Amino acid sequence: MIYKTLIAVCALSTMVASTGVSVAAGDAKAGKAKAANCVGCHGVKGNSTNPAWPKLAGQHAAVIAKQLADFKSGKRTEPLMVSQVSGLSQQDMDDLGAYFAKQTGTQGATDEKLASAGAKLYRGGNKKKGVSACIACHGPTGAGNPAAKFPALSGQHAAYIEKAMKDFRSGKRGNDMNKMMRSIAEKMSDKEIKAVASYVSGLH
C-alpha cells in the first residue's frame, strides 16, 4: 500500500509541475556575490571536491532555496550549516539557488561492480520490500523535478547520497515531503543504499 501511495504522490507532483507552478525567482548575479561563503565547502561554482559535501552546481534553484530554509528553520540539522544560514533572508536563499542552478555540474562515476544492482533499484525499486523506484520522482536521467522540489541526483557524490539516505533511514534527517524518503530508506539495506548511490552518481 505504501509503495503505491509513494508512486501516486510522485505522479501527482509531476502533474503539478507540468501545470507551470511558479517558483520564486532569485537573482543569479546577486547570488554569485553571496556564494563567496560557500566556496570553502562546496567548491568553485558549486562543484565540491570533498565527496562528503554535496555539489550544488546545476541543482534546481527551488531545491537549494528549500534546503537552506530548512536548515534555518531547524527542519534539517547539520552543524556546519547552522552558522552559514542564520543571517540569510528568503531573498538571499532564492539568489543563491538561482546562481548555483546556472552553473554546470561535473559528472560523477558509477562503480561497475554496483551498476547492475543500482540500476535495478533506481528503475524498478523492490516491490517485495515496498521500495519504490527512484525514477518515479527523480526521472530517467536523475534530473529531478524542480516544481515538486525533488532534487537532481545525476553526478552527485555517491558518498553524499549514501549518507543522506542513511540519515533518512535513521530519522536524523526528516525534511522530506510526507516522509517519502524516510519510508523508502527505512526498507533498504546498507548494500542497496550503496548500490543506488553509486548508480545515480554516474547517471546522466
**pLDDT tens-digit series, residues 146-194:** 999 999 999 999 999 999 999 999 999 999 999 999 999 999 999 999 9
User: Is the model's pLDDT at 84 over the cut of 70?
Assistant: yes
Asked whether residue 47 carries a pLDDT value surpassing 70, the answer given is yes
Domains located in the chain, CATH noted: 2-18+107-201 (1.10.760.10), 28-101 (1.10.760.10)
pLDDT of 134 > 50? The answer is yes
Percentage above 70 pLDDT, the chain:
88
pLDDT at residue number 25: 86
- Is the model's pLDDT at 17 over the cut of 70? no
Residue 24 has pLDDT above 70, yes or no: no
Residue 8 has pLDDT above 60, yes or no: no
Distance CA 107, CA 93 (A): 25
The pLDDT score that the predictor gives to residue 120 is 98
pLDDT-derived band of residue 6, with 50, 70 and 90 as boundaries? low
pLDDT band at 16 (very low <50, low <70, confident <90, very high): very low
Four-point Cα dihedral 188, 192, 197, 203, nearest 10: -120
- Asked which of 17-21, 132-136, 165-169, 178-182 is least confident by mean pLDDT, the reply is 17-21
Instruction: Write down the pLDDT at residue 15.
Output: 45
- CA separation for the pair 165, 186 (Å, rounded): 9
Neighbour-count burial for 140-177, b at 16+ CB within 10 Å, e otherwise: eebbbbbbbbbbbbbbbbbbbbbbbbbbbbeeebebbe
195 Cβ contact list (under 8 Å, min separation 6): 114, 117, 118, 121
Does position 40 have pLDDT exceeding 50, yes or no? yes
